[in-house]
Amino acid sequence: MALERRSATEQERRARISETRAQAWADVPREAREAWDEIVGIEGIGASVALSLVTTLAQKDERASIDRLVAMLTVEPPEAVAQDSAVAGKTVVFTGSLETMTRAEAKATAEARGAKVSGSVSGKTDYLVAGPGAGSKLTKAKDLGVEVLSEEEWRALIG
């Protein structure tokens, strides 16, 4: 993919990522294609990363190393999702800078309380949590009549 991007930059055109993805698919071993499809479906993971993962995990020595590491882990069950919280079943969008938690912490906290976290505002959005620097998402939320909360109001709502 990097080669295609570099070539596109030199030729002053947009990179043809779909062609790169097709090439990556051709390089995936047949027995790993199902895993590759699943990995590529994860937001933020592209064809090159997926190819690296499946080819690495297909190597016996690498797989043995990973299996040894996994044997040392203690897997704990996830916390139960709250069904009785004020945000259970609601859709929440975070925008702007969060000051008391990271974006990942905010998402995990909302999901643990039964909320769905979205990256975009729509008519289905119940709450927009807006921090400093909120922009177009805040404007859209106001236009759609979505309830806008500050980070402090969000924290009070979720307890």
Dihedral in degrees, nearest 10, Cα atoms 134, 135, 136, 142? 60
Domain span at 153: 91-158
Residue 85 in domain: no
* Residue 11 identity (one-letter amino acid): Q
Q: Closest Cα partner for 117 from 83, 93, 146?
A: 93
51 and 102 share one domain: no
What pLDDT is stored for residue 125 in this prediction? 95
pTM of the model: 0.54
Question: Which residue has 């570099």 as its token pair?
Answer: 6
User: Are 36 and 28 a contacting pair, CB within 8 Å?
Assistant: yes
Instruction: State how far the Cα of 142 lies from the Cα of 82, in Å rounded to an integer.
Output: 28
23: number of CA atoms within 13 Å, CB side? 10
What pLDDT is stored for residue 51 in this prediction? 84
Instruction: State how far the Cα of 82 lies from the Cα of 157, in Å rounded to an integer.
Output: 14
The pLDDT tens digits along the chain (159 residues) read: 556 667 777 787 766 655 555 556 677 777 777 887 888 878 788 888 888 888 888 889 998 999 999 999 998 887 777 778 899 999 999 999 999 988 889 999 999 999 999 999 999 999 999 999 988 999 999 999 999 999 999 999 998
What pLDDT is stored for residue 4 in this prediction? 63
152 and 111 share one domain: yes
Residue 76 in domain: no
Q: Closest Cα partner for 92 from 66, 118, 59, 111?
A: 118
Residue 78 in domain: no
What pLDDT is stored for residue 5 in this prediction? 63
Residue 132 in domain: yes
User: Are 91 and 118 a contacting pair, CB within 8 Å?
Assistant: yes
What pLDDT is stored for residue 17 in this prediction? 56
Is residue 68 helix, strand or coil?
helix
42 and 103 share one domain: no
Which tokens in the block code for residue 77?
């069950």
99 and 67 share one domain: no
15 and 61 share one domain: yes
